[in-house]
Amino acid sequence: MAIRHELPIGGESLQWLRLFPALAAIAALVPFLLLARGLRLGAQETTLALLLAAANGYLVKYAQELRMYSLLLLFTLTSLWLFVRLLNSARAPRALLFALFFVNLLLVYTHYYGWLVVACEAALLAYSDRRKLRALAEQARQGARTVLRALPRQPASRLHALLRLARRRVRGRPPRA
């Protein structure tokens, strides 16, 4: 999806197309370090985790491929960092809930495996703190209402009319004038 927006800017050269996944992989360092700080890892543990990530062949390979895996890594690390902040906070601030909801929405939109991260976070919240789970569910409900209200109603009604017309033709009835 991001490639469609990138093509008019830089063209179709391989170097340009591989720049976005590489930048997403580099940008993943920020939530990685913030996650390490949120987990209260020391300097040695953080350095070791960073060294293992840098030497991981899969991370290096997929950072160079024209796929969504680098973006999935970026959103997963950001979601985990925000989730750790939510667990460490005494109560659930609305801004944090909104940020977690928005990042999880982008995570799921990026790849289907994002649902696994969201499901694991929800299971851990249900196990550890039901009050924060209720607050997050309410934030998700309000966000879904806002998105549904913002959707244009005209194309949906046109689609409904086309489906009705197709059903009438399949049943052998002539379309209404």
Q: Does residue 53 form part of some domain? A: yes
Q: Does residue 26 form part of some domain? A: yes
105 close to 147: Cβ distance less than 8 angstroms: no
Q: How far apart are CA 26 and CA 46, in angstroms?
A: 16
Q: How far apart are CA 46 and CA 34, in angstroms?
A: 10
pLDDT tens digits along 72-84: 989 999 999 999 9
Q: Residue 151's domain spans which residues?
A: 2-170
Q: Does residue 102 form part of some domain? A: yes
Q: Does residue 132 form part of some domain? A: yes
Q: How far apart are the first and last CA of the chain?
A: 39
Q: Does residue 103 form part of some domain? A: yes
Secondary structure class of 1 (helix, strand, coil):
coil
Q: Does residue 98 form part of some domain? A: yes
Q: Does residue 92 form part of some domain? A: yes
Percent of the chain with pLDDT over 90: 21
Q: Does residue 80 form part of some domain? A: yes
Looking at residue 61, its pLDDT comes to 77
pLDDT tens digits along 120-137: 888 887 777 777 777 777
The domain total for the chain is 1
